[in-house]
Amino acid sequence: MQRLARETADALKETGPAGGGPGTLYIVATPIGNLGDLSPRAEKVLSSVAVVAAEDTRHSGRLLQHLGLSKPMIALHEHNERERVDRVLKELQAGKDLALISDAGTPLISDPGYVVVREARAAGIRVSPIPGPCALVTALSAAGLPTDRFLFAGFLPAKRTGRKAALEALKREQATLVFYESPHRILDTLADLVSVLGSERELVLGRELTKTFETFYSGNAGGVLAELEADPHGSKGEFVMVVRGAEVSGRGEAESQLDVDKLLELLLAELPVKKVAKIVAELTGGSKNELYQRALELKDR
């Protein structure tokens, strides 16, 4: 009986409130390339909602067609989002459940939608996220760079002056940096990154993630730029750039490492390795994962 009650409660959550109240706004993540990544829950929600708000109705219409679905759609993109808020709220307040989707991945992540979500919450309408694919998380998971702290900067400015200024502002950021970039700007952006952050800055570039021709380029920034320039397919597809954060500044590397080792050793005499790594990471801005490994090496000595 308890299991049946839980399943019933879950079903009510999925389908929205009963009794003539407002509908639910579902934020549904869709595949970034491989259609097999659409979750059963996302498919179920898309099947059940009355209306779908999509960044590009033609693009998303093909996804719905693939699922065998035919739904009324509202075009909602960066140029008309504020104008469409009232229409979306009207549908929801009429008791209709509505799904918000972007062209690919998780809505609102460098995509439109936050205005609608904010206004829906302000109106007391339930907003329910249906998690799934996200290009930045996908790239981070396979990059092999520190992920305990990262800064997602979306798309850099299209013009070189603005792009270099944005990179200058991030030059000393110690967290791992993540950017999106389009195929027609990727080579220029990498060239500017080399110019501002240096050719030795470690970088992993993901292209066409989850698709047939998924490719990762890794190494220092100068090497990745050269590799991409030599690849005849290098300027095709969508890109995610994952860039290692800046080293701790203010002292030479050897001196800094010596001080960190000393700090680790002092704390290891009193505390567990995990706690030591966390404390030193907070004090120095270093990677908690890397400090944990270093603490293990010192402890084994």
Residue 57 lies in a domain: yes
Edge to edge, the sheet with strand 176-181 lists: 150-155, 176-181, 239-243, 202-207, 215-220
What pLDDT sits at residue 288?
A: 85
Examine residue 22 and state whether it is found in any structural domain, yes or no.
yes
Residues 232 and 141 in one domain: yes
Low-confidence winner among 190-194, 236-240, 246-250 (lowest mean pLDDT) = 246-250
Please check whether residues 171 and 95 belong to one and the same domain: no
Domain assignment present for residue 84? The answer is yes
Name, in order, each residue with C-beta under 8 angstroms of 173's C-beta and a sequence gap of 6 or more. 151, 245, 246
- Note the pLDDT of residue 4: 39
CA quadruple 62, 67, 73, 77: dihedral sign: negative
| Span 8-12, average pLDDT | 45
Same domain flag for 262 and 223: no
Statement to judge: residues 159 and 196 lie in one domain: yes
278 pLDDT band, cuts 50/70/90, is: confident
**Same-domain pairing of 99 and 140:** no
Q: Is 224 within the bounds of a domain?
A: yes
CB distance 216 to 205 below 8 Å:
yes
243, 262, 278 - which closes a domain: 243
Higher pLDDT, 83 or 126: 126
Boundaries of domain holding 239: 136-243
**pLDDT score of 12:** 43
Tokens matching residue 204: 């992993």
Reported as a pLDDT band with limits 50, 70 and 90, residue 195 is very high
Any idea what the CATH number is for the domain that residue 25 is in? 3.40.1010.10
Do 116 and 46 belong to one domain?
yes
pLDDT tens-digit map of 25-55 = 999 999 999 999 999 999 999 999 999 999 9
Among 126-130, 181-185, 233-237, name the one with the lowest average pLDDT: 233-237
Q: Is residue 194 assigned to a domain?
A: yes
pLDDT reported for residue 205? 98
Residue range 231-248: mean pLDDT, rounded? 91
Residue 280 pLDDT: 85
pLDDT of residue 92 exceeding 70, the answer is: yes
Are 27 and 125 in a shared domain?
A: yes
Residues 172 and 109 in one domain: no
pLDDT of residue 8: 38
Nearest-10 Cα torsion for 155, 186, 204, 145: -20
Integer Cα distance of 104 and 55 in angstroms: 9
What pLDDT was estimated at residue 11? 46
How do residues 196-222 score in pLDDT, each as one tens digit?
A: 999 999 999 999 999 999 999 999 999
> Looking at the structure, do residues 93 and 15 belong to the same domain, yes or no?
yes
pLDDT, residue 268, reads 87
Would residue 248 count as lying in a domain?
A: no
Predicted local distance difference test score (pLDDT) of residue 181: 97
Arithmetic mean of pLDDT over the chain: 89
Separation of first and last alpha carbons in the chain: 57
Regarding whether 259 and 219 lie in a shared domain, the answer is: no
Task: For residues 173 and 229, state if they share a domain.
Answer: yes
- End residue of a domain, out of 223, 243, 263: 243
- 7, amino acid identity: E
Report the 10 Å Cβ neighbour count for 38. 19
For residue 185, what is the domain's CATH number?
3.30.950.10
| Domain match, 14 and 86 both | yes
pLDDT value at residue 249: 58
Of the three residues 112, 132, 152, the one that is the final residue of a domain is 132
pLDDT at 233: 85
Quote the number of domains for the chain: 3
Please tell me the predicted confidence (pLDDT) of residue 10: 52
